[in-house]
A and B are shown apart, each in its own frame.
Chain A
Amino acid sequence: MKRREFLKNTVVLANAAAFGGMASAAQFTPAPCPVTLLPMPDYGRDMEKEIAAIMIDDGLALKGKKVLLKPNFVEAHPERPINTNPSVIAGVAHACLRLGAAQVIVGEASGHRRDPWFSVLNPSLRSILDKKIRCVDLNHGDAVAVPNKGGLTGLPHFYLAKPVAEADVLISLPKMKTHHWVGVTLCLKNLFGVLPGIYYGWPKNLLHYRGIERSILDLARTVKVHYSIIDGVIGMEGDGPIMGKARPVGVLVMSPFPLAADATAARMMGFDPRKILYLAQAGRFLPGLRPQDVVIRGERPARFAAQFDCPEEFKGMRGGPFF
């Protein structure tokens, strides 16, 4: 499917009965969702203590828990910031140990690269992690069929990588990027990487075929994300998530609410999340879409506000100024 056709379909999707099964109003009790902006001008700083302190403030209880960190590794390119930076992954992993996690696993089912050397088994990551932290290639290995709680894709089940299904706490660690099919890729889109490639392929074409946005929404209903940390130290603008350019923003966006993190990051990128179809639809069942649903802590968001370059088709998703 070409991008133009895809966008046409998403308009249909937004307006038609495709979402008819969803509640017309939010199914949650509105409450302010904390989102913390942690300034991080570069990747050279030790982030562990600051991240741990914010997690404590957010009430994230990790003592004795099995924690799975889900970074975003799509493919490797020497000059493009495609993947979550290893320093961020290490900072979060070590913060989890500091907070008493019984087990910390860094797991990813990379979307394009079948070879795990290009994702979580790369020495650049493993060499900076504490020996107690395991790196697990989620593309190959055991999986567990769980019922699809969404139903938009028509897929009866999702086959989750077993370490994801067995984790007590799932922490999403995406990169702040534009996405040439859906506008932006952040915490919710990052959920594609909990599905093993041996079931879904490289890329996960079954999800593309059933609709990327439908798939994101089904996964968001099916897989609980307990905490989100978006790597916006250096994001990607333009023709993301692979072919774009580096865009330094200098921030980590942290929240116990994935949609609140995504919506806030989208605003910082210069997009109105209510114009990004899957975020807007996720707002029907997850809290944090509207600015009034979010309480921003830490640094002032205006400091990081940017206007990410994007493909022409997505310029209509822009908005603001928000801060």
Chain B
Amino acid sequence: MERSASETAALVERLESFSLLDGGLPYYRGNISAAEPTLLAALALSVSGVQAERAKPFLAWVQKMQNPDGSVGVDPGHRDQGVWLTGLAAIVLHHFGLAENTKRALEFLLSLRSVTGPKDPRLRQDDTLTGWPWVPGTFGWVEPTAWSLIALSLSGLGGHARAEEGARFLLDRQIPSGGWNYGNPALDGKELLPFWDTTGLALVALYGHGDPKRVGASLELMEKNQGKIESLSGLSWAVLCLDSYRRDAGRARVRLLNVMGSLGDEEFHLGNFALGLIALSGQKVFIP
């Protein structure tokens, strides 16, 4: 289903209506500006065909948020927290050709390592593999590892040892019957249920890394279940991953557009809404 230009314009306008005076965007109405919605909104505007000028306040806000070590944290009051967001920041900074900012973000990402542990034959995962953590000094998980891997791949560092190990980390955390959850394929020997958002994100991150057959079950799962997904985040990632692998995302796309058009303010998560716009654009901004 093709979207009309006016539909896109209305969605973009709604997103921008949340802009705050400092140039950023909040997670929800009433919050202060935060890095994640602002980064995703900058990207969403860029792929939605609006004038480049309109993304500039968001980018300026992000550049001001970047710490001297290259990291990007949650919000201006908590710059040292949530530095897992640096992966997303590096993607957006690279997209807009901000080379110096991108370089610093990537250097930070390469210095950030998850804690590892010895291999335990009782577990269905390999804890010796290094990924990326949510919080420095803790274990690696699917989402921060996926964002960091995408950032490295887009910047031409997909062959870096950290990227290759990150890809192995994600493949290791894949649920045997397909998909990913937050990061444990099984618990106490029992397989866990996949989540649509992390499944889509991990699939996008693994694009171009190794044999596509290794993610076949997850792709099938996503393609088959796209019509059952109901949330904005899940639908966005379904479209983004199926488009990346040139699979049919038609049912998820229709549903996504309906969901985005019917959100009330209370449920209006700006980061997820911006991600939805990126998905609807059909532009493959997360794969090299």
In the complex, the chain B residue whose C-beta lies closest to that of A201 is B134
Residues of A near B271 (CB, < 8 A) are 140
In the complex, the chain B residue whose C-beta lies closest to that of A205 is B138
CA of A264 to CA of B6, assembled, Å: 59
- Let me know if A165 is at the binding interface, CB within 8 A: no
- Let me know if B223 is at the binding interface, CB within 8 A: no
User: A159 contacts B78, CB within 8 Å?
Assistant: yes
CA of A201 to CA of B197, assembled, Å: 15
Q: Which segment, of B42-50, B95-103, B172-180, B185-193, faces chain A?
A: B185-193
Give 1 or 0 for each of B225-240: 1 = CB within 8 Å of chain A CB. 0000011111000000
Within 8 A of B (CB), among A174-225: 180, 197-203, 205-206, 208-209
Q: Which segment, of A113-121, A252-260, A284-292, faces chain B?
A: A113-121
- Let me know if A45 is at the binding interface, CB within 8 A: no
- Let me know if B27 is at the binding interface, CB within 8 A: yes
CA of A252 to CA of B32, assembled, Å: 38
Number of A-B pairs whose CB atoms are under 8 Å? 115
- Nearest Cβ in chain A — how far from B143, in angstroms? 7
- Let me know if A132 is at the binding interface, CB within 8 A: no
- Nearest Cβ in chain B — how far from A180, in angstroms? 7
- Nearest Cβ in chain B — how far from A162, in angstroms? 8
How many interface residues does chain B have, given as a range? 35 or more
User: A201 contacts B233, CB within 8 Å?
Assistant: no
The residue that B133 contacts in the complex, of A77, A142, A197, A201, with Cβ under 8 A, is A201
The residue that A2 contacts in the complex, of B31, B85, B122, with Cβ under 8 A, is B122
Within 8 A of A (CB), among B142-187: 143-144, 181-182, 187
User: A115 contacts B231, CB within 8 Å?
Assistant: yes
Residues of B near A118 (CB, < 8 A) are 231
Q: A115-B197, A198-B82, A201-B141 are in contact. Are A140 and B28 (CB under 8 A)?
A: yes
CA of A129 to CA of B230, assembled, Å: 20
CA of A158 to CA of B109, assembled, Å: 25
- Let me know if A243 is at the binding interface, CB within 8 A: yes
User: A115 contacts B195, CB within 8 Å?
Assistant: yes
- Let me know if A65 is at the binding interface, CB within 8 A: no
CA of A159 to CA of B81, assembled, Å: 10
- Let me know if A143 is at the binding interface, CB within 8 A: yes
The residue that B187 contacts in the complex, of A1, A137, A209, A242, with Cβ under 8 A, is A242
- Nearest Cβ in chain A — how far from B52, in angstroms? 28
The residue that B31 contacts in the complex, of A141, A208, A311, with Cβ under 8 A, is A141
- Let me know if B2 is at the binding interface, CB within 8 A: no
Residues of B near A170 (CB, < 8 A) are none
User: A142 contacts B32, CB within 8 Å?
Assistant: yes
CA of A42 to CA of B77, assembled, Å: 46
CA of A84 to CA of B120, assembled, Å: 34
- Let me know if A239 is at the binding interface, CB within 8 A: yes
User: B31 contacts A142, CB within 8 Å?
Assistant: yes
Residues of B near A145 (CB, < 8 A) are 78
User: A116 contacts B78, CB within 8 Å?
Assistant: no
- Nearest Cβ in chain B — how far from A124, in angstroms? 11
Give 1 or 0 for each of A136-158: 1 = CB within 8 Å of chain B CB. 11001111010000000000000
In the complex, the chain A residue whose C-beta lies closest to that of B139 is A205
Residue of A1, A180, A201, A208 ringed by the most chain B CB atoms within 10 A: A201
User: B28 contacts A137, CB within 8 Å?
Assistant: yes
CA of A209 to CA of B139, assembled, Å: 8
Residues of B near A180 (CB, < 8 A) are 187-188
- Let me know if B24 is at the binding interface, CB within 8 A: no
In the complex, the chain B residue whose C-beta lies closest to that of A78 is B193
CA of A52 to CA of B219, assembled, Å: 49
User: B188 contacts A200, CB within 8 Å?
Assistant: no
User: B78 contacts A143, CB within 8 Å?
Assistant: yes
CA of A159 to CA of B115, assembled, Å: 23
CA of A112 to CA of B198, assembled, Å: 11
Please, could you name 16 A-B residue pairs with CB atoms under 8 Å apart, sorted by A?
A75-B195, A116-B269, A121-B266, A137-B28, A137-B269, A140-B36, A141-B27, A141-B28, A142-B31, A197-B134, A199-B74, A199-B82, A205-B134, A206-B135, A239-B188, A242-B187
Can you add 17 more A-B contacts, CB < 8 Å, to A145-B78, A198-B82, A206-B138? A114-B143, A115-B196, A115-B231, A115-B234, A116-B267, A117-B267, A135-B266, A141-B27, A142-B31, A143-B74, A197-B134, A198-B34, A200-B135, A201-B141, A205-B138, A209-B139, A311-B188
**Which chain A residues have a beta carbon within 8 Å of chain B's beta carbons?**
1-2, 75, 77, 112-118, 121, 126, 134-137, 140-143, 145, 159, 180, 197-203, 205-206, 208-209, 239, 242-243, 311
